[in-house]
Structure 1
Amino acid sequence: MKILLVGEYSRLHNSLKEGLLKLGHEVILLGANDGFKDYPVDLSIKKKYDKGFLKKFKNLLYLLFKFDLESQQIKRQILGLKPKISNYDIVQFINEASFGCTAKIEKEIFDCISSWNNNTYLLSCGSDYISINYAYQKKFRYSILTPYFKGHKTQLESSYGLKFLKPEFKSLHEFIFSKINGVIASDMDYHIPLKGHPKYLGLVPNPINTDQLIHQPLETNEKIIIFHGINETNYYKKGNDIFERALIAIQKKFSDNVEIITTRSIPYNIYIKAYDKAHIVLDMVYAYDQGYNALEAMSKGKVVFTGAEKEWRSFYGIEENTIAINALPDVDDIIQKLEWLIENPQKLKEISNNARKFIESHHNYIDSAKQYVDLWQNNSRKD
């Protein structure tokens, strides 16, 4: 099949592409540069107004006239690429707003690309109307909106995904869902809100390229190394404040036994190597399942503090804190779990090995690609 993957911000579509290529499909990845992360794409959409004077000018123009220069120039690039992004068997968008444009322009871009191709699918793997609305109604025990509800509103509100609740983005959501063949969730955090929706096709675990991410057996003869990678934009949303408070206590108690590495908003290709020597990786708090960074770290044999809630454990049939460490929004709980691992280094090795085996069993990029192909073929129009 000819497959067009639209958008990238976690390396999900890159790994899926690699799996699809292994299966013999023709795949093109179209996407905009994602800030500091800088994931590779085949057809790149350039953002001209995302920094410096041009960004200030764009913001002023939008403030005065509600005219977004960035969105307009992104749309022009998409239109210019029509010959290269037409007549594919399958198109999959990574999000309801794959390019970070205004709702009006996202709708126009989606309408163009979907009309130029045969079958259109959507991923739910980041903030979108259904997941944010579910969280906003407090149907989760806790969610990425919990810090917002607790008063951390000084952080960029865009990081919470609240724009998806605005009327224009709800309208965008309804338009997209009227056009797509179906929507696929990448993990439990998106599966739970989508359950029962008529367009929901099911959960396909995030594809991880286990050929590229080599398992590194842990050695615990010297200091235990803890890695904490911070994305400044998502500081409270990811629970980085909780991790930092826990690390202060750990550093004080185990100063001779622990080394702590902290990074802030570094590019993906640097980030993925920065925790190579770490035993423990602190990923995020407000999640029920693992996101992409956590899964890649687990593939490399790291013991990851992340979403590993009872819904996830039940889905895969596993015991608590055997594959990944469930990071609750509780500083004392994080401290206790870190102490347990530091004082029982054999557990680090055990969980490390279990994590790698879990990724190989449930997140292998070729197996994941096969699941996508099955869903696409079973739900596509037969021309």
Structure 2
Amino acid sequence: MKILLVGEYSRLHNSLKEGLQQLGHQVTLVSTGDDFKKFPSDILLKRKYDSGFSKKIKVLLFKIMGLDITSISLKNQFFREKEVFSGFYFVQLINESPFGLQPKYEKEVISFLKKNNTKLFLLSCGTDYMSVKYAFEKKFRYSIFSPYFEGKISEKEFFPALKYLKADYKELHNFVFEKVDGIIASDLDYDIPLQQHSKYLGLIPNPVNTEKLNYLPLPVSEKIIIFHGINRANYFKKGNDYFEAALKKIQHKFSNNIEVITVENVPYSEYIEKYNSAHIILDQVFAYDQGYNALEAMAKGKVVFTGAEAEFLEHYNLKEDEVCINALPDVDYLFQKMEDLILNPEKLQTISKNARAFIEREHHYISMAKKYLKVWNSN
């Protein structure tokens, strides 16, 4: 069966593609590579005019004429290849705005995909109108909007998330929801806001290709290595300030017992290599469930500080700290959790093994591909 996956976040569609291919399907992935992460695609649309002098021209043209030349370039690249994007039985968008275009151009792309293929589905796995609205209305106990509400980040800096509440993005949301045959969520952070929607088809956990992520028994050494990867653009949204404050306290108390590795804005292939020697990975604070980076680290047997709220534990029938550590926006709490692992390193070994087993049981890429096919075929 011919399947088209449109857009990429954190390697999700690549892993799904690999699972579908293992099941004998013909899969094409088109994306922009997810910015600096540079994920592979069968057809890579290149973002232009996002740096240097060309970016200044882009900003000027937008101010004067309302034209986003990056969006126009990406749209033109897509339509130059339009024959390639026709004749698929299933098409899945990774987001309401899968290429990050201005809404009017995104509508053109999605209209073409709807008209020239059999079934069209939407994946909710990143900021979109429903999840942003739910968080903005403070329906979560905490969310990526918490730093914004606390004044840590300006409206301008938070525009990549806030834009989904603007009139043109709300209109895009309504347009996409009308066009698609159904919506799927990748984790509980997106499942919860969609619960009552008539087109919501349910949660399918992120597919993880465990064959590409070997389990690495935690190194036995005198020092416990803590890895902190930072995407500077999402610094406050991910709660990196809480992690850094907790790390400062940990380094002060356990300077002879730990080593801290911090990296910023590195491509995906480099990122996953840099944390291979680590025992503990600091992922994100403002989440109820794990995102993709956390899941891949767990597959490698790392002890990950990430989203693991009560809703997650109940959904998967787990105990607290069984497969990962729930990260909260509380410096003292994070310090205490790190301290406990440093003082009781045997817990690291237990969580490490549990984490790998959990990924194989609940996120295996072929099992998840089967779930996608079942849902797609039923709607």
**Is TM-score (shorter-chain normalized) higher than 0.5?**
yes
* Matching residue's letter, 1:141: R
Look up the match of 1:341: 341
2 CA distance for matches of 1:221 and 1:52? 45
Q: How does 1:1-383 map to 2 (within 5 A)?
A: 1-154=1-154, 157-158=157-158, 161-379=161-379
* Matching residue's letter, 1:251: Q
The answer to whether the Cα contact below 8 Å between 2:153 and 2:236 also exists between their aligned partners in 1 is no
Q: Deviations over 1:100-138 (max 9, x none)?
A: 111111111111122111100000000000000000000
2 CA distance for matches of 1:373 and 1:138? 34
2 CA distance for matches of 1:334 and 1:145? 20
1 CA distance for matches of 2:228 and 2:373? 36
1 CA distance for matches of 2:102 and 2:62? 11
Please identify runs of 4+ aligned residues in structure 1 that moved more than 4 A: none
- Residue 155 (structure 1) shift: 7.7
- Residue 248 (structure 1) shift: 0.3
* Matching residue's letter, 1:76: N
2 CA distance for matches of 1:219 and 1:322? 20
Task: Give structure 2 stretches of 5+ with no counterpart.
Answer: none
Task: Report SS of the residue matched to 2:184.
Answer: strand
Task: Report SS of the residue matched to 2:209.
Answer: coil
* Matching residue's letter, 1:213: L
Task: Report SS of the residue matched to 1:161.
Answer: helix
2 CA distance for matches of 1:28 and 1:35? 19
The answer to whether the Cα contact below 8 Å between 1:33 and 1:47 also exists between their aligned partners in 2 is no
The answer to whether the Cα contact below 8 Å between 1:97 and 1:103 also exists between their aligned partners in 2 is yes
The answer to whether the Cα contact below 8 Å between 1:305 and 1:324 also exists between their aligned partners in 2 is yes
* Matching residue's letter, 1:100: G
- Residue 36 (structure 1) shift: 1.1
* Matching residue's letter, 2:150: K
The answer to whether the Cα contact below 8 Å between 1:5 and 1:13 also exists between their aligned partners in 2 is yes
2 CA distance for matches of 1:45 and 1:159? 23
Larger displacement relative to structure 2 (47-56 or 146-155):
146-155
Task: Report SS of the residue matched to 1:163.
Answer: helix
Q: Deviations over 1:33-83 (max 9, x none)?
A: 322100000011111211111111111100111111111111111111111
2 CA distance for matches of 1:72 and 1:378? 36
1 CA distance for matches of 2:98 and 2:158? 14
Q: Deviations over 1:337-371 (max 9, x none)?
A: 00000000000000000000000000000000000
Q: Deviations over 1:174-222 (max 9, x none)?
A: 0000010000000000000000210100000000000010001113331
Larger displacement relative to structure 2 (5-14 or 101-110):
101-110
- Residue 263 (structure 1) shift: 0.3
1 CA distance for matches of 2:346 and 2:22? 37
Task: Report SS of the residue matched to 1:3.
Answer: strand
- Residue 317 (structure 1) shift: 0.4
The answer to whether the Cα contact below 8 Å between 2:225 and 2:259 also exists between their aligned partners in 1 is yes
The answer to whether the Cα contact below 8 Å between 1:155 and 1:236 also exists between their aligned partners in 2 is no
- Residue 160 (structure 1) shift: 5.2
* Matching residue's letter, 1:259: E
Task: Report SS of the residue matched to 2:37.
Answer: coil
